[in-house]
Structure 1
Amino acid sequence: MRIVSMVSGFTEALFEIGAGDQVVGVSKYCSRYVKDLKAEVVGDYIFVDKRKLRNLNPDLILLTSGIQERLSEELKKEGFPVFVLPLPRSINGIWENIISLGGLTGKLKEAKEMVYHHQEKLWHLGSLRKKQHQSVYVELWLGKHVRTIGGLTFIDDIIYFSGGKNIFSSRCESYIEPDLEVVEIIKPEFGIFFHEPDFPVDVEELLKTRNWNWFKKVIKMNIERGKNIIHDGPSVIETIAWLSNQLC
């Protein structure tokens, strides 16, 4: 009944399935996707204030795999009730996590209905897109280290259902260091660039330094709901709808 969610996608899903009143603690990023969020902020993606956490006396602390694994192990050793859901490797992983959240909170029916509704939207968007996919290069600035994506991430699916084709989709990896020489050889039609506000990137200047002038269009994505390509909450459907309009 007392949930701390350290993953913004989980927090968004909890509120959409009607379990928002059970959320007592969140990360500082969750308010981006839940309007007028009142739950107490107890940390960010990899750090948590344990004093605040104890004061909240949660029944359940939600974390994800990947970069949060160290935090989850640390909290487990101190006796906190941690539950880890997997970082999605496909858009189906997002749906699975939402259904799991429904099961954990007694909102399984609501979670499944939401997933079915979002899937119907997804298939509708797919029927509207062009049959020929546009080649896309994705660059993520997650702090100081640049990454692109292989085929084992939900972001690859976002690109596909938006009408694009990730140039590294055949790589059996998730987040990888981009080979800029390969990108130059392929010369993809579209470039998608994402960065966090704490680590701003001047995309135009970056492209000048690389002498990359072949893109049909450069698409800048940010943390705004419906424009955040790394966000794995229910609003991924909004992101796909927005991006499909850019890949024209």
Structure 2
Amino acid sequence: MKAFNEVLGKEIEIPDNPKIVSLAPSITDILYQVGAWDNVVGVSIYCNIPEEAKEKPRIGAYLKVIYSRLDKLNPDIIFTTTGAQRNLSIELSEKGYNVYPVKLPISLYGIFENMFEIAGVLDKVDIAIERSKEYINMLSEVSDKLSGKVYYEIDLGGPISAGKLSYINNALEHIGLENIFRDDYSTWIQPDFNIVLEKNPEIILYELKPGSNYNREDIKKLFIDRGWNDIDAVKNNRIYVLKPDTLAHYGPSLFKFLRDIVSMVRG
């Protein structure tokens, strides 16, 4: 089977029953969901969804690969994403690997698009159709179930939030929350603490980085140290701590995570 990738402007040949390497957690999730898991021979160190991903050989990080391991696996296709992985995709392609970058989603609908694109490359569209029905039902269940202004923060070695052009903004709006940075035409934002104070969110969603074991009281102390004592979410203990790879994960498992967030906030 031949597949043309618009990002690299190249056509690649994919054999039947291909050996697959995924360098992005979202793609690893998709490969599992569309029934291509047995073909996955390697993943990145950040691919932890599904749980079975931890049993696959690790061939590198998000921006670097260990070529000795990659050569040993001899994959027929390597899936990457655009954005930060663009240079790695070009590097792999120039070294002769069959690389297929998938665009980063800017909405929940982009996650569906990515699933169908990958399924199309691997002749798994029928499975993707069935999965999409399940996910549409999940999204329907959580639509507008919450209300209020929300501040989202993730620890990426420093505080980062999401702007209007992020799938996270779309996800928050889908469940009924108003992102305080919804008018910032960016994907990711380094939040101005004074603006957060001014916007006075009623809910705060704080996503931990991998390996962190902070609890709600730890995060509340962090916010008080920033001078956020008078923010409604802090005063009313409406701070919700998310495990790593919750909203930061843009594979189809995000749809289930949204359901978990709604349950958490509603109590």
Q: Is the 8 A contact 2:25 2:47 kept in 1?
A: yes
Q: 2:223 aligns with which of 207, 217, 234?
A: 207
Q: How many Å separate the matches in 2 of 1:198 and 1:70?
A: 28
Identity of aligned pairs, percent?
A: 30
Secondary structure, counterpart of 2:153 in structure 1: strand
Q: 2:199 aligns with which of 169, 174, 186?
A: 186
Check if 1:135 corresponds to 2:149: yes
Check if 1:222 corresponds to 2:243: yes
CA displacement 1:1-53 (0-9 Å, x = unmatched): 11100111211221121111111110122234233654211012122111111
Q: How many Å separate the matches in 2 of 1:36 and 1:9?
A: 12
Q: Is the 8 A contact 1:162 1:247 kept in 2?
A: no
TM-score, L = length of structure 1: 0.90
Q: Is the 8 A contact 1:11 1:26 kept in 2?
A: yes
1:171 maps to what in 2? 184
Check if 1:119 corresponds to 2:133: no
Q: 1:153 aligns with which of 163, 166, 169?
A: 166
Alignment of 1:45-56 (within 5 A): 45-56=62-73
Q: 2:37 aligns with which of 8, 17, 20?
A: 20
Secondary structure, counterpart of 1:31 in structure 2: coil
Q: 1:76 aligns with which of 93, 102, 106?
A: 93
Q: How many Å separate the matches in 1 of 2:86 and 2:213?
A: 26
Cα offset for 1:245? 2.1
CA displacement 1:73-103 (0-9 Å, x = unmatched): 2212211111100111000110100001111
* Bigger Cα displacement from structure 2, 89-98 vs 38-47: 38-47
Q: How many Å separate the matches in 2 of 1:84 and 1:118?
A: 23
CA displacement 1:168-208 (0-9 Å, x = unmatched): 11222100111211111111101111131256764233112
CA RMSD of aligned residues (A): 1.8
1:241 maps to what in 2? 259
Q: How many Å separate the matches in 2 of 1:222 and 1:189?
A: 20
Cα offset for 1:146? 2.0
Q: How many Å separate the matches in 2 of 1:95 and 1:198?
A: 29
Q: Is the 8 A contact 1:167 1:188 kept in 2?
A: yes
Residue segments in structure 1 that go unaligned for 5+ positions in a row: none
Secondary structure, counterpart of 1:41 in structure 2: coil
Cα offset for 1:107? 0.3
Q: Is the 8 A contact 1:60 1:83 kept in 2?
A: yes
* Count of aligned pairs: 241
Cα offset for 1:165? 1.1
Q: How many Å separate the matches in 2 of 1:100 and 1:32?
A: 19
Q: Structure 1 runs of 4+ off > 3 angstroms? A: 198-202
Secondary structure, counterpart of 1:138 in structure 2: strand
